[in-house]
């Protein structure tokens, strides 16, 4: 049962009964330095196209509950094409006129059950048509924020291609580098009080105007977030109605990126010697020096400046929930004596921040020596109840099928074992044995094996790798991701370690050691500044080239029924009336026991031919895509008014036909689309057959 007091306390967090008072010194934010990029954002003023709308509809989750209008996503997906076309026209009309439905300000707020420490968790739901419009805005807003360099590199939360592990790995790598130089690293982990619920829309609009957000999108954010009507439900009964002009709506796809923009100037409030890492509202500031007194003074100055900055935003830090730690090579006893000797103390508004020997940051427990004992201990406490659940649903003569149990193990237990392994791998032999025993106990429950079963047999029966092997594989993948992204904070850190002497490289951790050991391989990785479609002009994401796959199938049919394929092909060429034709192909052959990959491009009209060998590990798909990209480069160089590219790779052409570039789209496909888009801007017609 939910008491009336608990209901009101939970509702007060997102909708205080009285009017919210905005910060008094918001004008100071306009004087803060801001250095953005000058990129073309004309697309943000254009109406939404059918491809954008289709992409938003495809991404809808069928299990999502409806909002106040009771129209579910399942119903929306079954709308006829004519109705979808009408909705898109209405969306564009609203966008152009900057007038939006008043019902989009209505939210259902459910308070179903207690959360952590007895606090009630809130679930807010808006109309699903409103969510679709937010998805359309979100894609443009995300591209604008990343390409304009508005979000700092230290912000890892809700950004494409970045995660919690990137955040923690950056911190741990800096700590280990400081330890190698016999320096201390003081880290303060800060807790913001009601971060999302205390955002003031007036301050947010001031910042977005400062960043240069187009007025059309700014008006939509103002219309739907400046004032919201909330109806609070408990046990299925509407208990209260309130109106709030504070906070970001919970569950909105725009809330995370808007909060990131709200905090994007945080680095301007910190001294140069202070580094900051942010994962949405989880903030860590740290300083490295050989003198603890210097660290104390710098961190206190940083906390004062940070508090002033947050006051301008209407946010505040909770000193009692924040904590700090000092990382070094000293033993805990010696570190304690050093802290007492220099009277180390950190304060926020004259209130001391507590010192903690073990801090949980983004799911990983950190201790001053980075020996990971506390993390493994807490890991064991989390895994054992999960193993008991696995045992409860398994049995030799009854229970779930082993394949089902293995799936449960992978999602329920192995994912917990893998969390943060890129940072703490390799563990000491004692700690590694403790973690392995958890894996073995889980696999015995899955397969029904006895305790006397050999561990290598147990792993083989379940198709699992030893944790050391798996963790090293995940670490290699993580380094590949870091190396590929030039804007990643760890990328520059790893490059700096290449210039260290051999004796300076010790104790830097497996991440740095693996990178330096296989540097010749990681250097072959193709690099980019931003992941996915963010690297390219926004309009390329929904650009559709002219592709004809039917003609190729017709030629194949004519050949099968005995017609002359050469005559049929020549007839096809005459119908196209083209200036130049380009033929692309690739091959993969075994030469001296090693596979070699290459591609070729030929054009009889321009007297051009090219044969090129590429990386031996490249797939046929990559080779075909590179051949098409090379043909497009020649078309742009020679300025052929009308060209046709003949390719026998249906998979490449199908990918080019996709309605929108996604996170899973091949990077070469994105480059090809960019080249085709450049041809269209130069009035060069390119067709694919």
Q: For position 286, which CATH number holds? A: 3.30.70
Please check whether residues 379 and 434 belong to one and the same domain.
yes
Please check whether residues 298 and 399 belong to one and the same domain.
no
**Is residue 462 within 8 Å of 394, Cβ to Cβ?**
no
Query: Looking at 307-321, 347-361, 395-409, 465-479, which range is the least confident one?
Result: 395-409
Please check whether residues 184 and 93 belong to one and the same domain.
no
Q: Any bridge partners for residue 359, and if so which?
A: 366
Query: Which contacts (CB < 8 Å, 24+ apart) does range 295-301 have?
Result: 295/184, 295/185, 295/186, 295/326, 296/186, 296/342, 296/344, 296/345, 296/346, 298/271, 298/273, 298/274, 299/186, 299/188, 299/274, 299/324, 299/346, 300/346, 300/347, 301/271
DSSP alpha helix (H) spans, 485-509: 489-497
Instruction: Report if residue 587 sits inside a domain.
Output: yes
Please check whether residues 419 and 349 belong to one and the same domain.
no
Distance CA 192, CA 319 (A): 9
Q: Please, what's the largest Cα pairwise distance for the chain?
A: 95
Q: Tell me the average pLDDT across 615-634.
A: 90
Q: What pTM, to 2 d.p., does this model score? A: 0.90
Domain residues for 638? 543-688
Please check whether residues 165 and 291 belong to one and the same domain.
yes
pLDDT over 80 (residue 365): yes
Please check whether residues 598 and 671 belong to one and the same domain.
yes
Please check whether residues 144 and 167 belong to one and the same domain.
no
How would you classify the pairing of strands 608-614 and 642-646? Answer: unpaired
Averaged confidence pLDDT in the chain: 88
Please check whether residues 121 and 7 belong to one and the same domain.
yes
Instruction: Report if residue 187 sits inside a domain.
Output: yes
Distance CA 132, CA 14 (A): 23
Banded model confidence at residue 37, pLDDT cuts 50, 70, 90: confident
Please check whether residues 131 and 14 belong to one and the same domain.
yes
Phi-psi region of 370 (alpha: psi -120 to 50; beta: other; left: phi over 0): left
- Cα–Cα distances in Å, from 416 out to 130, 157, 606? 36, 20, 59
Instruction: Report if residue 104 sits inside a domain.
Output: yes
Distance CA 209, CA 211 (A): 5
**Is residue 168 within 8 Å of 362, Cβ to Cβ?**
yes
Indicate the residue among 421, 443, 464 that finishes a domain: 464
Instruction: Report if residue 479 sits inside a domain.
Output: no
Indicate the residue among 464, 493, 518 that finishes a domain: 464
Instruction: Report if residue 567 sits inside a domain.
Output: yes
Instruction: Report if residue 472 sits inside a domain.
Output: no
Please check whether residues 233 and 362 belong to one and the same domain.
no
Banded model confidence at residue 436, pLDDT cuts 50, 70, 90: very high
Banded model confidence at residue 625, pLDDT cuts 50, 70, 90: very high
Q: Tell me the average pLDDT across 229-237.
A: 78
Sheet holding 282-289, edge to edge: 275-279, 282-289, 184-191, 323-327
Other CB atoms within 10 A of residue 671 CB: 19
Q: 284 — phi, psi (to 5°)?
A: -130, 125
Sheet holding 106-110, edge to edge: 123-125, 106-110, 228-234, 237-244
CB contact set of 318 (below 8 Å; sequence gap of 6+): 191, 192, 193
Distance CA 627, CA 53 (A): 32
**Structural domain count, the chain:** 4
Q: Tell me the average pLDDT across 636-640.
A: 90
Please check whether residues 55 and 84 belong to one and the same domain.
yes
- Cα–Cα distances in Å, from 377 out to 371, 384, 414, 638? 12, 11, 16, 66
């Amino acid at each position: 049962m939910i008491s009336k007091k608990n209901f009101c306390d939970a509702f007060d967090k997102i909708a205080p009964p009285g009017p919210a008072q905005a910060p008094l010194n918001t004008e100071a934010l306009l004087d803060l330095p801001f250095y953005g990029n000058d990129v073309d954002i004309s697309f943000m003023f254009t109406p939404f196209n059918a491809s954008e709308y289709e992409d938003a509809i495809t991404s809808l989750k069928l299990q999502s509950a409806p909002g106040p209008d009771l129209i579910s996503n399942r119903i929306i997906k079954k709308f006829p094409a004519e109705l979808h076309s009408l909705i898109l026209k209405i969306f564009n009309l609203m966008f152009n006129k900057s007038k939006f439905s008043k019902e989009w300000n209505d939210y259902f707020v459910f308070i179903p059950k207690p959360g952590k420490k007895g606090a009630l968790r809130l679930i807010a739901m808006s109309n699903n048509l409103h969510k679709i419009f937010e998805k359309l805005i979100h894609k443009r807003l995300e591209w604008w924020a990343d390409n304009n360099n508005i979000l700092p590199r230290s912000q890892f939360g809700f950004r494409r291609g970045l995660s919690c592990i990137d955040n923690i790995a950056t911190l741990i790598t800096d700590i280990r580098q400081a330890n190698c130089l016999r320096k201390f690293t003081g880290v303060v982990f800060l807790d913001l009080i009601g971060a999302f619920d205390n955002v003031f829309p007036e301050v947010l609009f001031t910042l977005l105007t400062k960043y240069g957000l187009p007025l059309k999108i700014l008006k939509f954010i103002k219309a739907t977030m400046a004032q919201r009507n909330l109806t609070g439900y408990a046990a299925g009964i509407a208990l209260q109605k309130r109106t709030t002009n504070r906070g970001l709506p919970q569950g909105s796809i725009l809330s995370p990126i808007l909060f990131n923009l709200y905090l994007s100037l945080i680095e301007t409030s910190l001294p140069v010697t202070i580094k900051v890492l942010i994962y949405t509202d989880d903030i860590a500031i740290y300083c490295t020096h050989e003198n603890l007194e210097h660290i104390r003074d710098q961190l206190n100055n940083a906390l004062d400046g940070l508090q002033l900055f947050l006051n301008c935003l209407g946010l505040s830090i909770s000193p009692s929930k924040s904590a700090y730690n000092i990382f070094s090579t000293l033993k805990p006893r010696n570190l304690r004596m050093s802290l007492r000797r220099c009277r180390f103390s950190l304060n926020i508004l004259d209130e001391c921040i507590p010192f903690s020997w073990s801090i949980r940051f983004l799911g990983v427990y950190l201790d001053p020596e980075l020996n990971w004992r506390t993390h493994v201990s807490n890991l064991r406490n989390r895994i054992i109840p999960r193993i008991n659940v696995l045992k409860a649903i398994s049995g030799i003569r009854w229970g779930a099928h082993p394949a089902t149990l293995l799936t449960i193990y992978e999602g329920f237990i192995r994912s917990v074992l893998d969390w943060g392994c890129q940072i703490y791998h390799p563990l000491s032999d004692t700690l590694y044995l403790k973690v392995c025993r958890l894996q073995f106990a889980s696999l015995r429950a899955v397969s029904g094996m006895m305790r006397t079963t050999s561990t290598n047999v147990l792993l083989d029966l379940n198709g699992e790798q030893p944790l050391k092997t798996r963790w090293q594989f995940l670490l290699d993948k993580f380094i590949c991701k870091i190396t590929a992204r030039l804007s990643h904070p760890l990328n520059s850190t790893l490059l700096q370690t290449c210039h260290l002497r051999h004796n300076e490289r010790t104790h830097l951790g497996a991440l740095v050691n693996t990178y330096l050991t296989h540097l010749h391989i990681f250097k072959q990785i193709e690099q980019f500044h931003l992941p996915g479609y963010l690297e390219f002009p926004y309009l390329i994401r929904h650009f559709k080239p002219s592709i004809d796959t039917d003609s190729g199938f017709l030629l194949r049919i004519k050949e099968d029924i005995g017609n002359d394929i050469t005559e049929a092909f020549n007839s096809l060429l005459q119908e196209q009336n083209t200036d130049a034709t380009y033929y692309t192909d690739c091959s993969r052959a075994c030469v001296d026991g090693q596979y070699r990959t290459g591609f070729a491009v030929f054009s009889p009209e321009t007297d051009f031919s090219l044969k090129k060998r590429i990386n031996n590990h490249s797939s046929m798909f990559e080779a075909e895509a590179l051949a098409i990209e090379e043909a497009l480069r020649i078309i742009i160089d020679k300025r052929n008014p009308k060209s046709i590219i003949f390719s026998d790779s249906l998979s490449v052409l199908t990918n080019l036909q996709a309605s929108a570039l996604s996170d899973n789209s091949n990077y070469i496909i994105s480059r090809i689309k960019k080249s085709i888009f450049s041809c269209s801007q130069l009035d060069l017609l390119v067709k694919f057959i």
